[in-house]
Amino acid sequence: MTTKKVGEIFIAGGQPNITYNPRKTHRLEEQLLDYLDTGYKLLSVTGSTKSGKTVLSRKVIPLKKGIWVSGGQVQVEDDFWTIILDRLGIPWNYTEENQTGQSYGTDVSVDGEVSALVAKAKGQFKASRNSTSSNKVVHQYLRSPRTTAIDALIESKMPLIVDDFHYIHRDIQSKIVRALKDPIFEGLRVIIIAVPHRAYDAVRVESEMTGRVSQLQIPLWTDEELKEIPMRGFPELNAHCPNETIVQFVEESFGSPHLIQDFCLNLCFNNNLREASDSPVFIMEPGDYTNFFKLIAQSASKIAFERLAKGPRQRTDRVVREFTDGSKGDIYIAVLKALALTGPKTEIQYEEVRSALRSLLIGQVPNANEVTRVLKKMSDIAFEQRDQGEPVIEWVKDDVLYIADPFFAFYLKWNS
């Protein structure tokens, strides 16, 4: 029997198995299955970053049972459709050469139902160019990737899941949703996964989707639900973790199961525990919780913090401001420190930022336009870095800032 490794028990950023918590009282898996059995609407699965919405969706619809597309990979519309075709193993560019009775093609090797889809797709291609050279005849067949992908999706009867739909530019979202509207009417199951304040992007970009979008909202995790992760994981390692430590982890998690997994993983490493023990092990608490959390925060969001603190390039030096803690910094450092003073909260009203700046700064507080400009620019910078993960903050309205990533909130608390 293979010994269980710590990294197989506490999985931070992946698909947990042993420490997966279905949160049965919310019937989340059942609601997702109900949609798959019903269809004829677009389903929007929403929840805060690292709240488990993707983990839930992949538990119900494993990669082999659905067509998964990551919004972060979609820069132009054709990216979306060609990713789908790649997942299905279907070429949308097909070239065939005939020479002395021989035939060569760009076909792909796949099994089962997808093979039939490839054959059918090839049969629908139209020749766009024929060329001859001595005894060789080349036929090139071209077809719109959008048309090919939609036909293949309908034929496959597999659900389409778009993770991080909010990463996709609004204009491209509109084209995608408009193209999927009729297939959804025909029974194609389409699921988009997004953060809560972007739950109805599909309706905003395509008004005719009004009434055709259902929402499955992932509720915030309770303390008891978060405790289930270490309570399930440590016994699998034949280890006992003090309840006081578990309580501390829950308090610092910002409601994120991802952070709890990370805390437990690092605590095991601190105790030199890397696999299940043959004899019972008693986990030692961190000697210094502050240092323990700071080290985790450094590895989590230091780069994102430094990028926001640097701000955009500008021709003139920024005004250096004095803070009540004796340090100094420009407006970008001041705003980040102000965000930390709110708790930090994951949804912050503009007036809370202004109030925190008043407590933080010695001297005059920046005017409203300057603070708004900085928050908007930080949001733009965070979005530009989305290929490295979820944008850590997002300025959605003129008066609300979302700290979208709990790891960033965690970093602000322990390192700002």
Of 335, 366, 378, the closest CA to residue 353 belongs to 335
**The domain that contains 261 carries what CATH number?**
1.10.8
Residue type, 231: M
Is 66 within a domain?
Answer: yes
Q: What is the pLDDT, as a whole number, of residue 127?
A: 45
pTM: 0.80
What range defines the domain where residue 102 resides?
A: 85-147
Q: What is the pLDDT, as a whole number, of residue 28?
A: 97
Q: Which residues are bridge partners to 133 per DSSP? A: 136
Average pLDDT over residues 238-249: 96
The pLDDT tens digits of the residues spanning 341-363 come to 998 988 899 999 999 999 999 98
Q: What is the pLDDT, as a whole number, of residue 136?
A: 60
Local confidence band at 122 (pLDDT 50, 70, 90 cut-offs): low
Average pLDDT over residues 276-305: 89
Q: Is the pLDDT score of 203 beyond 60?
A: no
Local confidence band at 284 (pLDDT 50, 70, 90 cut-offs): very high
- Residue listed under structure tokens 């990294």: 7
Contact 171, 77 (CB under 8 A): no
Distance CA 133, CA 95 (A): 15
Distance CA 223, CA 249 (A): 10
* 29-43, 63-77, 224-238, 383-397: least confident range: 383-397
Is 54 within a domain?
Answer: yes
Which residue, of 293, 314, 346, is where some domain finishes?
Answer: 293
Percent of the chain residues past pLDDT 70, beyond the cut: 81
Distance CA 73, CA 79 (A): 7
Phi-psi region of 289 (alpha: psi -120 to 50; beta: other; left: phi over 0): alpha
- Report phi then psi at 289, rounded to 5: -60, -35
Distance CA 20, CA 123 (A): 44
Most confident of 211-220, 255-264, 376-385: 255-264
SS3 label, residue 192: strand
Same domain, 408 and 348: yes
Which residue, of 293, 317, 346, is where some domain finishes?
Answer: 293
CA atoms within a 13 Å half-sphere pointing along the CA-CB vector of 191:
28
Residue 359 structure tokens: 């407590």
Q: Is the pLDDT score of 111 beyond 90?
A: no
Is 1 within a domain?
Answer: no
Same domain, 136 and 210: no
Distance CA 234, CA 210 (A): 47
Integer angstrom CA distances of residue 154 from 141, 150, 192, 212: 22, 6, 17, 18
Same domain, 278 and 388: no
A 10 A CB-CB count for 311 gives 17
Q: Which residues are bridge partners to 395 per DSSP? A: 401
Same domain, 272 and 404: no
Which residue, of 293, 321, 341, is where some domain finishes?
Answer: 293
Same domain, 56 and 183: yes
b (16+ CB within 10 A) / e for 214-242: bebebeebeeebbbbbbebbbeebebebe
Distance CA 149, CA 146 (A): 5
Q: Is the pLDDT score of 102 beyond 60?
A: no
* 6-15, 166-175, 266-275, 369-378: least confident range: 166-175
Mean of pLDDT over the chain? 84
Residue type, 121: A
Let me know how long the chain is. 416
Is 298 within a domain?
Answer: no
Q: What is the pLDDT, as a whole number, of residue 108?
A: 38
Q: What is the pLDDT, as a whole number, of residue 263?
A: 96
Same domain, 69 and 158: yes
Query: Bigger pLDDT: 317 or 35?
Result: 35
Residue 194 structure tokens: 């997004």
Q: What is the pLDDT, as a whole number, of residue 224?
A: 97
Same domain, 58 and 194: yes
Average pLDDT over residues 264-281: 95
Is 4 within a domain?
Answer: no
Q: What is the pLDDT, as a whole number, of residue 116?
A: 56
The pLDDT tens digits of the residues spanning 125-182 come to 444 444 445 556 555 556 788 999 999 999 999 999 999 888 888 889 989 999 999 9
Contact 385, 307 (CB under 8 A): yes
Distance CA 165, CA 54 (A): 12
Percent of the chain residues past pLDDT 90, beyond the cut: 54
